[in-house]
Structure 1
Amino acid sequence: MNLDVIGQAVGLFAVTNIDDILILALFFAQGTGHRGTARNIAVGQYLGFVGILVVAGAAAFGASFLPEGVIPYLGLLPLALGIKAAVSAWRHRHDSEDAREASAKGPRALEVAAVTFANGGDNIGVYVPVFATAGAGSTSVYVVVFLILVAVWVAAGRYFATRPAIARVLSRWGHVLLPIVLIGLGVLILVDGGAFGL
């Protein structure tokens, strides 16, 4: 295994996925006290990221599952999930913090996967030329390193969500921050990609 390729893969993953740590921390905060939260988040993150790799790999080697013009519209996924979370936060706005936590549902794996995949539109754009020029052997190294780093990212998101100072903020404001981040992410993906002529 070429150490240069491993180093490049680590750097590329970190640069293209830095924003995922905040989203993962918000998901962990949302799932506080719910069974299976860590499993759902990890499974969802892996499903979404494998989807990104499949699309990028296919495009790099000549096939394409998603036409390039469709990618900006992936912003509708986090936008819809953010609106859903905002409606839920609004309905429970007068609830006490304990009641709000009791009524909240932990994140579902498919929701996490949808957000991860939608947020990965820019990753696809970066990974395609890298995979196309790297060749099959180096691309497989990239994929293995990326999949290992997904676990590191999930652990980092959980770590940040459980730090006392951060956990207090997320516990108090997470129900507001999650919809804002998801809606903002969805709008950003739509606008950056030029969806709907934006």
Structure 2
Amino acid sequence: MNAGIIGQAAGLFAVTNIDDIVILALFFAQGAGHLRIVLGQYIGFAGILVVAVAAAFGATFLPESAVPYLGLLPLALGLKAAWQVWRADADGDGDGDDPPARGGGPKALEVAAVTFANGGDNIGVYVPVFATSGISGMTVYVVVFLILVAVWCLAGRFFATRPLIAGALSRWGHILLPLVLIGLGVVILVEGGAFGF
């Protein structure tokens, strides 16, 4: 039975977090700060798990109506990153093709905020699964998810270092990251019905 739950947990994680690989690859492509990216991914995903486990036991830290507004986090970070790209170009620090200096990549809390916001809708999927799995089943899900966060980080790093992908991310990643974050924020807001959309 544990093998069955492990497979179900791995499948659930993969289906609900496939988009994270793209975001992680963009973060890793920014250069240094790989430990901060991994730490941020774990902090953000741990936040998702804490809320989902607590909700499975009946606690509600985050009202369902607030989940769409998590889109404001990646939207704000995307706008900040876009501002930095624009400032670097305006100051003559780049010719538009070179990524601006970012001080060693994203900060752990920036990655955590994007991870939590991107996974906010996953909470609604995880809660009923956790609630019906019992304590032992829920523990298996949590352990498998935490192991797979490391696998996702490795996959993001892998894609960011493939010559073809790395070349494209090196050339365009500083532009793609703000666009992806802004797009992610808008999608979370619109799909969740925030602000009456």
Deviations 1:129-158 (A, max 9, x none): 100111111000000000000000000000
Q: Summarize the Cα distance change of 1:14–1:133 in structure 2 as closer, same or farther, 3 Å threshold.
A: same
* Corresponding position of 1:58: 54
In the alignment, the residues of structure 2 paired with residue 17 and residue 102 of structure 1 have an alpha-carbon distance, to the nearest angstrom, of 28
Write the mapping of 1:57-76 to structure 2, written as runs, cut at 5 A. 57-76=53-72
Task: Tell me the secondary structure at the aligned position of residue 93 of structure 2.
Answer: coil
Write the mapping of 1:74-113 to structure 2, written as runs, cut at 5 A. 74-93=70-89, 94-96=92-94, 100-101=98-99, 103-105=101-103, 106-113=105-112
Task: Tell me the secondary structure at the aligned position of residue 103 of structure 1.
Answer: coil
* Corresponding position of 1:40: 36
* Corresponding position of 2:172: 173
Alpha-carbon deviation of 1:101?
4.5
Q: Summarize the Cα distance change of 1:138–1:97 in structure 2 as closer, same or farther, 3 Å threshold.
A: farther
RMSD after superposition: 1.6
1:187 corresponds to 2:186: yes
In the alignment, the residues of structure 2 paired with residue 184 and residue 81 of structure 1 have an alpha-carbon distance, to the nearest angstrom, of 11
* Corresponding position of 1:132: 131
1:14 corresponds to 2:14: yes
Alpha-carbon deviation of 1:96?
3.5
Alpha-carbon deviation of 1:95?
3.5
Segments of 5+ residues of structure 1 without an aligned counterpart are none
TM-score after normalising by structure 2: 0.94
In the alignment, the residues of structure 2 paired with residue 69 and residue 120 of structure 1 have an alpha-carbon distance, to the nearest angstrom, of 15
Paired AA for residue 3 in structure 1: A
Question: Any runs of at least 4 consecutive aligned residues in structure 1 with deviations exceeding 4 A, and if so which?
Answer: 97-102
In the alignment, the residues of structure 1 paired with residue 95 and residue 148 of structure 2 have an alpha-carbon distance, to the nearest angstrom, of 34
Paired AA for residue 44 in structure 1: G
In the alignment, the residues of structure 2 paired with residue 141 and residue 60 of structure 1 have an alpha-carbon distance, to the nearest angstrom, of 15
Task: Tell me the secondary structure at the aligned position of residue 29 of structure 2.
Answer: helix
Is the CA contact 1:92–1:100 (under 8 Å) kept in the aligned structure 2?
no
Segments of 5+ residues of structure 2 without an aligned counterpart are none
* Corresponding position of 2:161: 162
Q: Summarize the Cα distance change of 1:155–1:181 in structure 2 as closer, same or farther, 3 Å threshold.
A: same
Q: Summarize the Cα distance change of 1:99–1:191 in structure 2 as closer, same or farther, 3 Å threshold.
A: closer
Paired AA for residue 152 in structure 1: V
In the alignment, the residues of structure 2 paired with residue 99 and residue 108 of structure 1 have an alpha-carbon distance, to the nearest angstrom, of 23
